[in-house]
Structures are given as C-alpha cells and as structure tokens.
Structure 1
Amino acid sequence: MSSSGIAPESRHGARGSTGLVPARADRIIRAVSWWWASTPLLLFAPAIAHAMGLPGVRREMGWVFVLMALFTAVLAPTTGFVVAQIRDRREARRRFLIMAAVSGGLILFFLLSGVLFSECPDGYHC
C-alpha cells in the first residue's frame, strides 16, 4: 500500500503499466496472420463470382483481385515479421518466415507455370 493507504504502489513508478504494448503487438500479429490467410479467398473471388452467375466480375475485375492477392501474400508476412522482430516474439517470427516461404513458393509456381503453360508445341491447342 502507498503511504496514504488508498492504492497499492506501482512497480513501474512513473512509467505506468506496459501491459498495453504486448497486447497491441499480439493483436497486430493476429490481424496480419488473418490478413495473410485471406489470400486464397482473394485469389479465387473472381472464379467464385463467375460460378455464382456474375461473369462480369471475372471479366472486368479479375486482375484487381489477383493483384490484391499478390499484394497480400507479399506484404502480410513482411509486416508481421517486422512487428514480431520489434516486439521480440520468436514464435511469431518463425510463423511469418514460414508464411513468407509458402507465399514465395506459390508465387514462383504460378509464375513458372504461367510461362511454361503459355508456350504450346506446334500442333497442340492450349
């Protein structure tokens, strides 16, 4: 108890409690993880819209969704890794490195398969 007997003394003195900073970092890490998890939904949104009877979405806005998925796949692990590095969250850093490896592998796969599948041998219709 403090000398006045009203409230207990703070161990941190004038700085106050630092409980908000770790909670905020954890919320940011969780939000960025969910942001990254939304990448497949963004990537397949035009196909889902086409299947639901909205072919105009796929035809006119398909490239926007693909760019948003690419942007999310690259930026979310990068942002999460930076936050985890600043707040010294080792487990989260590991998770974001795995996310970056998965994203990089899938992006590389789509780039290579797009280049390889676009070239057809003579006599074949692709």
Structure 2
Amino acid sequence: MAAGNPIRGSRVGAGRMGESDRGESAPRQRFEFYCANGHATALAFAMDAEIPDLWDCPRCGSPAGRDRAAPPPATKVEPYKSHLAYVKERRSDEDGEALLAEALARIEDKRTPRS
C-alpha cells in the first residue's frame, strides 16, 4: 500500500513553498551586535529601517553595540533590597527615632486606662 495516495501526510491548500508563491521579500541589510560577554548577534533590518545603536543580547541580556572592539559595558545588577533598606535611604536616624517615639506614645496612650 506504499504506492497508494500521493497526497498522504499533506493538508488541503498545501503547495510548493517558494518565492514565486509568497511574493518577493523586502530588501534587507544585516548587522552584527556585540555584547561585553563576547556574544555576537546577527540581525536583519529593512533597508529603510532606522538601525538602533544598542540591542539587548538574546543570550545574556546585556546591552550590545555594533562595534566589536568596544562593546557597551554590562549594566550593573543591583542586589535585592528589602523594604527596610528603602526606608533607610529616605529617612535619617533622627527621623526614625522621632517616628518611633511618636508610635510608642500612641501605644502608651491606648494602654493607659481612662477614668
């Protein structure tokens, strides 16, 4: 039964796939982008497209430029900061002491029985 149906495994509407069936592709230009980790990424852009100076490297996420000899520096990765670290950036120790004293005074007022 090997010589049975000649279109087995095909679907309706499937035909040859070539430039004549799909039309002509737009003219393109290729550029290479290089990151600080030594990765190279080749990208194709339309001839009339504006070419960006920087592109994110798909392998490591660092910024990549078009100059192989001088790629852009890798971005500095900030460590995770807790809520307390952000509060300490905004407030001085004196502000913290004043807020603490105010909060303790409110708690003490709630605890004292009123006669």
TM-score range, shorter chain: under 0.3
Higher strand share: 2
Query: Which TM-score applies when normalising by structure 2?
Result: 0.26
Structure ID, larger Rg: 2
Please report the TM-score for the alignment, with normalisation by the length of structure 1. 0.25
Q: Which has the higher helix share?
A: 1
